[in-house]
Amino acid sequence: EVQFVESGGGLVQAGGSLRLSCEASGFTFDRYVIGWFRQAPGKDREGISCISSLDGSTYYKHSVEGRFTITSDNAKNTVYLQMNSLKPEDTAVYYCAVETDALPAMWEFYEYDYRGQGIQVTVSS
């Protein structure tokens, strides 16, 4: 059974940093796409970054490119999202999603086989 745990959210001041973690289990962590999504109050959920084992490629939406970095640690079955230079508009519930196959980037939340419950990130001004 595939399971994963999201962690690392919290409250931070503008300009600060947080690192989100998505630790997965129950599948061979060498074929996957893992995406990070977020949903701010009153807005639609959006994909912001993903990483594919297909060729190790990483992908970012324009709104976070240059500030956020997605990495994977296969030995720990964990994907991280390092978030730097946080802005109040980054405040949202952040979700991890897992696809247990080596595919190109995926940007649709409900296309992933497994989806997390979300963790809150709040950036104060």
The pLDDT score that the predictor gives to residue 125 is 94
- Average pLDDT over the chain reads 94
pLDDT, residue 108, reads: 94
Question: Does the pLDDT at position 77 exceed 80?
Answer: yes
Sheet holding 18-25, edge to edge: 3-7, 18-25, 78-83, 68-73
Q: Which of 12-21, 25-34, 105-114 shows the lowest mean pLDDT across its residues?
A: 25-34
Confidence at 26, pLDDT banded by 50, 70, 90: confident
**What is the rounded distance in angstroms from the CA atom of residue 111 to the CA atom of residue 125?**
34
Can you read off the two tokens belonging to residue 66?
């240059």
pLDDT for the residue 4: 85
Q: For residue 41, which amino acid is it?
A: P
